[in-house]
């Protein structure tokens, strides 16, 4: 790779955080007639934080951003805010900066809370559960701090604290809900995989004769088990998702019917009379056949429960997002200087269910899924796909299949596989930097839509009740992947294939548009978490 551009650092060179979502860095270099801006976007969030810390140490004397005298920590569940001093008085005039990481901050907060006698019950519950973790809050977004990562542990030279764009909070860890409650009071719960061991064999003598002709003793054992007891079940799920040629959306099924074949009792053979059908909203019918009647009843019962559960769970998630949008609308205020709308970060409401730790801890086989608009070229219209983010891969499936000749949509009983993006060596960026992906287009439709959004807030209302007031810049993100060049090298007695990453080429990119800014930030956060995990696995 050759040097394309260089940045001579002078006393007038400035740096700042360009985007608080993906932590891209902006370097500004004043020239004679213009200002040259460089936007740095490392591969992972931890590398972005490292670059920011290095640049801050480099420009510490010329930068106007000084570290505040204290670190504020908010406990929203207790409505308490604490200030932790971060400077140490060496002598009468000199002050040195203390070293603060996540563990020290949490211990200091818990020690201060011990003096509050009215909160002892809550503190004891938190300490016993060991489910406390620090996080950075930005408007309606939460970013959990990984205590094992030394980069995120530096709580003082990180861009969230120096730029004062985030608020440090102490919260109990939230996982994605595994239950949903209905209006009639009933509750459906998703049971996790269990580890089951068989009972020990009976203690009988070797000379005792056991009669195995009577198998009535084993009739009470079930034919199938509804829950897989294997610890490696997660790998099996991921492999199934990666190898799938399509999927059936259970939320589109309206009814399950049994097909009882009209046969005489003596004419019924094994495997007959075990058929059932799934009726979809688009009128298509999916016919399935089970091994036996007992197996068919198990399938029907569990499918009905899954359909009922996920319809209610998805509806509940949509209501949570709409409540957040309506609540935070009152915290908008307009700045007179620039005329843009800004939020009050200290008063904005955030729901930790949407920013659960399952994304970081990989508690689920599907990390995130949902419908997104997608295009792979600048001169192209957006198409609607269902995207599934699993371990290191982003897979998307067709919503509708169009005819090759007439280009008309043809309803199918399943969503067909389209493409899989391997997130290794991928970069994600969002926000205003994605604007050129729209204005480089020659299509008048994209230009008119972009112009209409800039004229004012337009409400977008979707069929499931979702409401959005965000413009196209705030709801868009891009995945960029560089080209790879392979060359052969002679390593002793072996011929080794070396991979060279070419960063000075246009590469391949995918432009995505979500329904709202909140959903866009959720996708960017989940994608960055997966790319971060792949990068750590490469360097360990």
Residue of higher predicted confidence among 107 and 193: 107
Residue 318 falls inside a structural domain: no
Domain closes at, from 172, 191, 215:
172
- Domain annotation covers residue 16: no
Percentage of the chain with pLDDT > 70?
Answer: 72
pLDDT of residue 519: 93
* Average pLDDT rounded to a whole number, residues 80-100: 75
* Residue 511 lies inside a defined structural domain of this protein: yes
237-250: pLDDT as tens digits:
888 999 999 999 99
Stated pTM of the model: 0.83
What is the per-residue pLDDT for 61?
A: 66
Looking at per-residue pLDDT, the higher value among 380 and 437 belongs to 380
pLDDT band of residue 57 (cuts 50, 70, 90) is: confident
Strand order in the sheet with 25-30: 14-17, 25-30, 35-40
> Which of 109-113, 171-175, 433-437 bottoms out in mean pLDDT, i.e. has the lowest?
433-437
Give buried/exposed letters for 392-422 (b at 16+ CB in 10 A, else e).
Answer: bbbbbbbeeeeeeeeeeeeeeebbeebeebe
pLDDT of residue 343: 63
Q: What is the count of structural domains for the chain?
A: 2
Residue 132 sits in a domain whose CATH number is 3.10.20
pLDDT surpassing 90 at residue 522: yes
- Note whether residue 420 is domain-resident: yes
Q: pLDDT digit string (tens) for 23-50?
A: 888 888 888 888 888 888 888 888 988 8
Q: Are 27 and 12 a contacting pair, CB within 8 Å? A: no
Structural domain harbouring 145: 66-172
What mean pLDDT is reported for the chain? Answer: 78
Q: In which region does residue 69 sit, left (phi positive, over 0), alpha (psi from -120 to 50) or beta (all else)?
A: alpha
pLDDT value, residue 336? 38
pLDDT at 253: 93
Percent pLDDT > 90 in the chain is 22
Last residue within a domain, chosen from 107, 141, 172 = 172
Tell me the per-residue pLDDT of 379-417, one tens digit each, with 9 for 90 and over.
788 889 999 999 999 999 998 877 767 667 777 788 999
Q: What pLDDT does 129 receive?
A: 65
398: nearest Cα among 382, 390, 387: 387
For the segment 451-462, what is each residue's pLDDT rounded down to a tens digit? Answer: 544 555 678 889
- The enclosing domain of 429 has a CATH number of 2.30.29.30
- Residue 86's CB is within 10 A of a number of other CB atoms, namely 19
167: nearest Cα among 207, 198, 140: 140
According to the model, what pLDDT value does residue 86 have? Answer: 82
Look at residue 99 and tell me whether its pLDDT is greater than 50.
yes
Looking at residue 216, its pLDDT comes to: 52
The answer to whether position 393 is within a domain reads: yes
- The reported pLDDT for the residue numbered 32 is 83
Structure tokens at 12: 């007038």
On the question of pLDDT at 269 being above 70, the answer is no
Say if residue 432's pLDDT is above 60: yes
Q: Are 394 and 420 a contacting pair, CB within 8 Å?
A: yes
| Domain endpoint, select from 152, 172, 192 | 172
Quick check: 518 pLDDT over 80?
Answer: yes
Q: What's the pLDDT score for residue 421?
A: 94
Q: Is 99 inside any structural domain? A: yes
Q: Kindly state whether residue 201 falls inside one of the protein's structural domains.
A: no
Average pLDDT of the segment spanning 350-368: 88
Query: Mean pLDDT across the stretch 477-489?
Result: 75
Structure-model confidence comparison of residues 184 and 206, the more confident one? 184
Would 395 be classed as within a structural domain? yes
Confidence band, pLDDT 50/70/90 cuts, at residue 232: low
Q: pLDDT band for position 472 (50/70/90)?
A: confident
Q: Is 188 helix (H, G, I), strand (E, B) or coil?
A: strand
């Amino acid at each position: 790779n050759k040097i394309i551009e260089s940045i001579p650092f002078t006393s007038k060179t400035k740096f700042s955080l360009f985007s608080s979502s993906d932590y891209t860095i902006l370097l500004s270099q004043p020239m004679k007639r213009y200002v040259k801006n460089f936007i740095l976007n490392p591969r992972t969030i931890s590398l972005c934080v490292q670059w920011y810390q290095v640049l801050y140490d480099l420009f510490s004397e010329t930068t106007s951003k000084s570290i505040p005298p204290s670190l504020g920590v908010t406990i929203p569940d207790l409505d308490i805010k604490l200030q932790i001093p971060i400077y140490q008085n060496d002598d009468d005039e000199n002050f040195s900066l203390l070293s603060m990481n996540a563990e020290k901050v949490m211990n200091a907060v818990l020690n201060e809370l011990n003096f509050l006698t009215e909160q002892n019950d809550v503190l004891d519950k938190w300490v016993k559960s060991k489910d406390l973790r620090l996080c950075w809050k930005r408007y309606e977004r939460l970013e959990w701090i990984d205590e094992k990562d030394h980069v995120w542990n530096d709580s003082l030279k990180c861009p969230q604290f120096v730029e004062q764009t985030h608020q440090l909070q102490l919260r109990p860890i939230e996982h994605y809900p595994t239950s949903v409650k209905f209006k009639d009071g009933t509750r459906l719960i998703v049971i996790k995989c269990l580890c089951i061991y068989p009972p020990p064999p009976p203690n009988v003598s070797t000379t005792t004769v056991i009669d195995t002709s009577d198998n009535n003793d084993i009739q009470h054992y079930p034919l199938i088990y509804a829950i897989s007891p294997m610890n490696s079940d997660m790998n099996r799920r991921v492999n199934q998702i990666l190898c799938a040629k399509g999927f059936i959306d259970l939320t589109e099924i309206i009814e399950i019917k049994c097909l009882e074949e009209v046969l005489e009792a003596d004419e019924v053979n094994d495997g007959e009379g075990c058929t059932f059908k799934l009726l979809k909203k688009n009128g298509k019918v999916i016919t399935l056949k089970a091994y036996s009647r007992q197996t068919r009843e198990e399938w029907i019962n569990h499918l009905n429960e899954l359909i009922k559960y996920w319809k209610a769970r998805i509806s509940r998630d949509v209501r949570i997002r709409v409540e957040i949008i309506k609540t935070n609308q009152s915290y908008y205020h307009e700045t007179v200087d620039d005329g843009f709308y800004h939020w009050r970060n200290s008063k904005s409401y955030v729901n930790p269910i949407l920013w659960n730790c399952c994304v970081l801890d990989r508690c689920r086989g599907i990390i995130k899924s949902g419908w997104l608009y997608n295009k792979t070229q600048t001169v192209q219209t957006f198409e609607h796909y269902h995207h599934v983010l699993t371990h290191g891969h982003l897979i998307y499936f067709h919503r509708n299949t169009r005819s090759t000749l007439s280009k008309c949509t043809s309803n199918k009983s399943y969503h067909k596989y389209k493409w899989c993006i391997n997130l290794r060596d991928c970069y994600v960026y969002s926000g205003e930097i994605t604007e050129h992906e729209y204005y480089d287009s020659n299509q008048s439709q994209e230009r008119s839509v972009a112009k209409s959004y800039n004229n004012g807030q337009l409400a977008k209302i979707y069929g499931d009740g979702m409401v959005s007031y965000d413009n196209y810049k705030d709801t868009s993100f891009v995945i960029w992947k560089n080209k790879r060049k392979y060359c052969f090298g002679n390593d002793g007695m072996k011929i080794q294939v070396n991979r060279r990453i070419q960063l000075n080429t246009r590469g391949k990119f995918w432009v995505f548009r979500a329904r709202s800014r909140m959903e866009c930030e959720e996708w960017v956060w989940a994608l960055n978490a997966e790319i971060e995990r792949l990068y750590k696995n490469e360097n360990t």
